[in-house]
Structure 1
Amino acid sequence: MERITAKYYIETPLDLEKSAAVLAGEQSSGTFIAVPGETEELKQRFAARVEKITVLDTADEPAIPGVLVSGGKYQRAMIEVSWSIENFGYNLPVMVSTLQGNLYELTQFTGLKLMDIELPPSFATAFRGPVFGIEGCRKLTGVYDRPLIGTIIKPSIGMSPEQTAELVGTLAAAGIDFIKDDELLGSSANSAFDKRVDAVMEVINRQADRSGKKVMYAFNISDDIDQMQHNYEKIVNTGGTSAMISLNSVGLSGVKKIADMGALAIHGHRNGWGMLNRHPLLGIEFPAYQQLWRLAGVDQIHVNGIQNKFWESDDSVVRSIEACYRPMFGGYSVLPVVSSGQWGGQAPETYRRIQSVDLLYMAGGGIMAHPDGPAGGVIAMQQAWQAAVDGLSIAEAAVKYPEFGHSVTVFGKK
């Protein structure tokens, strides 16, 4: 019988083997005391197994509250625990409840983080996964051999549908590949969803008729299920190609329900990620996180960015991008979305670290606040990535490309 294996980073002042066994028992057939019916045959078939313990370092103080040991040491380790697929089948919510449920409450641990998941091959037949992925998004936008360049409508709240559409027209004429609603904008008093879709898609369709290039606009459809389905169908009926969903707000089942409709590329925004990941010994690490959303069918997923405006380190961002590139069932391609305080100046370091142009490279202020206007911002971003692939430094690129040089005068001082 196939098994699913989860890798955890743990901290405990108690015996490692006993603590790991408690986790395995709590998250499968066991409880705090033997109960009638818990036979050896049952445990053999359904109990989780501790497969591996790799001892790491020790700490003098606990990472988070748990068992306190006066004068003791807090041992850290990587552990691998496996479950029979019989325990939950292909039920994503129950699987997540198993891999990430009450184990965080166990007093034996003063630190616990889900680092990665190994899923059996049968999941490839149970879940369709992303319909579009990297190649599909490239085909929809007509962009090959370079990153997709995208931006976010700013200000995030307050613009009317007509004002939004006017800005979209400027960006589309400048050659932008991708635009999205801010995650804070759903259907607001100043910008009703249906009216915004009508206004924006009229501009995008008109520009596509002239140029042959259709801008991908990810409208934020995040809402309850019925309303999301209405919003989705509205985008399809007006000729749109993408919908954005706030993953942590909507949840796995809601995202999968929408992604299974299969007509639009799903842009997965991970807002709220910090509460799941920011503590080094609590929550979930991105390699595990992104697998769940690939199963649900997300085509694009946020990974933060190099030299970003938030807390995440460059090394963490690179690991996240690499996780998206990691093969999954021979397909399930997902496009990493680089964002957060980006402008063209981070392109050389981003390319140096990942050696790939399979990205959606997003800049809000880095495009919208360009001294030559949004059109200059789009051109500068394209120039920055050409320079990065060609091995030029920021200084060399600033001399070669006027628009990029102008962006350096503003953003290079930040």
Structure 2
Amino acid sequence: MNDVIARYALTDRAENLSARAEGIAVGLTVGSWTDLPRATQERVEPFRGRIEEIRTVEAIDGHRVRAEIAIRYPMINLTDQIAALLTTVFGKLSMDGEIRLVDLTLPSAYLAQFQGAKFGVRGLRDRLSVYDRPLVMSIFKTCVGQTLDELGMHFREQALGGVDLIKDDEIFFHEAVPPYVRVKRYREEGLRIEQETGRRPRYAVNLTGPVFELKERAKRLQEAGADLFLFNVFTYGLDVMRELTSDRDIQIPFMAHPAFAGALYASERHGIAAHVLLGDLLRMAGADIAIFPSPFGSVKLHRKESAELIARLRAPGPFAKVMPAPSAGIHPGMVPLLMETYGKDVIVNAGGGIHGHPAGATAGGKAFYQAIEAVLRGVPLSEAAASHEELSDALAKWGEVRG
């Protein structure tokens, strides 16, 4: 299969579906067809899209139906830019009423043009030397308006809870305390904590700035000791991250933040399905870690869609598997459900669930580890809480979420 196949869910009159599908196939490839002279038709034939399938899903009323249309796009039309792919399969079409891109099938020859994750699940675990359990990540929730000493204190408080990763909040663009300064300070603090506890948390700094300066900034931050990059991929652009992750001189894992993605996937009638946007496209762009809303927290992704997203992040193929980081409203009482749903290869990502612990952020991190240890031992959280004060306090505040 040497073509790209895009599948769309749409609403229209049943009698319009064939013409609608033909309009998509032609309009997004050669532009027009029936008005072209025969000689021109022969020349542009290899570039013309084809109808793969038209399927009615359900009747809405006496006139309209929900349907799925699959269109085959010749790979010859595309370049090795995600922008070219998205413009071809859903550019102007995204503005044409109730229509949603629900799937993409990409040929191996096309995917071979992309590198995917440099590290992925295995590479990230190798960097942390943690193989037998989920990773725990804390979020810097207090960021803007803080001095370097205050930020260092917050870093230490989180790190003493034993977390594996500490990341900037995605809103941290303000550079009153420049990222290079933060990276150096947190690295020094982390090394001190490693001497005290035997464990050093890795810091994910928010990579920001003018687009054409990002590569140079990334390399300077790497030299300063950055462990990971947090990147707002959907505000900067998928191809921007792809350029960064494919640079041989940048040897740091990338954590893709989904800020702004809700404008693209959240509607059931418009946009792009989450498993395509946060799954397939992030893998192509080189994400090592994909943050997305869990089905259980304060911002929810539907369980079925979440399961399909995870399947895409872990699917065999040319790219390294991506580490999922389900987020938003995560607390220790969710750990059994998270591990049942995602297994061990997952990042338990918490902001308020760590900082909002009654005894502070250090206790919040410990509560997560106590919950993970209980699940690995097959012990109910309520039983483990009897001998772990931090977990007990967390359950008293948030309870346990059951499936």
TM-score strictly above 0.5: yes
Cα deviation digits, residues 170-200 of structure 1 (max 9, x gap): 32233110111101102333x3323222222
- CA pair 377-18 structure 1, distance change in 2 beyond 3 A: same
Q: Say whether 1:230 aligns with 2:231.
A: no
Q: Amino acid of the residue matched to residue 9 of structure 1?
A: A
In structure 1, the partner of 2:233 is 247
- CA pair 227-203 structure 1, distance change in 2 beyond 3 A: farther
In 1: Cα distance, 2:75 partner to 2:31 partner: 17
Q: Say whether 1:157 aligns with 2:144.
A: yes
In 1: Cα distance, 2:112 partner to 2:79 partner: 12
- Following superposition, the deviation at residue 276 of structure 1 comes to 0.7
Q: Say whether 1:367 aligns with 2:367.
A: no
In structure 1, the partner of 2:90 is 100
Select the residue among 117, 121, 145 that pairs with 2:104.
Answer: 117
Q: Say whether 1:89 aligns with 2:79.
A: yes
- CA pair 49-33 structure 1, distance change in 2 beyond 3 A: closer
Does the 8 A contact of 1:186 with 1:193 survive in 2? no
Name the SS of the counterpart of 1:351 in structure 2.
helix
Name the SS of the counterpart of 1:395 in structure 2.
helix
- Following superposition, the deviation at residue 44 of structure 1 comes to 3.1
- Following superposition, the deviation at residue 167 of structure 1 comes to 1.8
Name the SS of the counterpart of 1:15 in structure 2.
helix
In 2: Cα distance, 1:225 partner to 1:307 partner: 35
Does the 8 A contact of 2:276 with 2:309 survive in 1? no
Cα deviation digits, residues 14-65 of structure 1 (max 9, x gap): 52222111111111013386245773323531111111222201224xxxxx
Alignment of 1:336-355 (within 5 A): 336-354=324-342
In structure 2, the partner of 1:273 is 261
Cα deviation digits, residues 336-358 of structure 1 (max 9, x gap): 1111000011122222233x111
- CA pair 165-11 structure 1, distance change in 2 beyond 3 A: same
- CA pair 364-216 structure 1, distance change in 2 beyond 3 A: same
Q: Amino acid of the residue matched to residue 305 of structure 1?
A: S
Q: Amino acid of the residue matched to residue 307 of structure 2?
A: V
Does the 8 A contact of 1:351 with 1:389 survive in 2? no
Does the 8 A contact of 1:24 with 1:47 survive in 2? yes
- CA pair 3-173 structure 1, distance change in 2 beyond 3 A: same
Q: Say whether 1:179 aligns with 2:166.
A: yes
Name the SS of the counterpart of 2:88 in structure 1.
helix
In structure 2, the partner of 1:4 is 4
- CA pair 413-346 structure 1, distance change in 2 beyond 3 A: closer
In 2: Cα distance, 1:76 partner to 1:337 partner: 33
Name the SS of the counterpart of 1:187 in structure 2.
coil
In structure 2, the partner of 1:380 is 367
Q: Amino acid of the residue matched to residue 386 of structure 2?
A: V
In structure 1, the partner of 2:207 is 221
Does the 8 A contact of 2:275 with 2:306 survive in 1? no
In 2: Cα distance, 1:9 partner to 1:30 partner: 22
Alignment of 1:42-57 (within 5 A): 42-57=43-58
Once superposed, what is the RMSD of the aligned Cα atoms?
A: 2.3
- CA pair 390-53 structure 1, distance change in 2 beyond 3 A: farther
In structure 1, the partner of 2:32 is 31
Name the SS of the counterpart of 1:346 in structure 2.
helix
- Following superposition, the deviation at residue 328 of structure 1 comes to 3.2
- Point out where structure 1 has 5 or more consecutive residues left out of the alignment: 61-71
Q: Say whether 1:409 aligns with 2:400.
A: no
- CA pair 272-46 structure 1, distance change in 2 beyond 3 A: same
Does the 8 A contact of 1:222 with 1:250 survive in 2? no
In structure 2, the partner of 1:66 is none
Does the 8 A contact of 1:162 with 1:199 survive in 2? no
- Equivalenced residues, count: 397
For normalisation by structure 1, the TM-score amounts to 0.89
Does the 8 A contact of 1:162 with 1:196 survive in 2? no
- Point out where structure 2 has 5 or more consecutive residues left out of the alignment: none
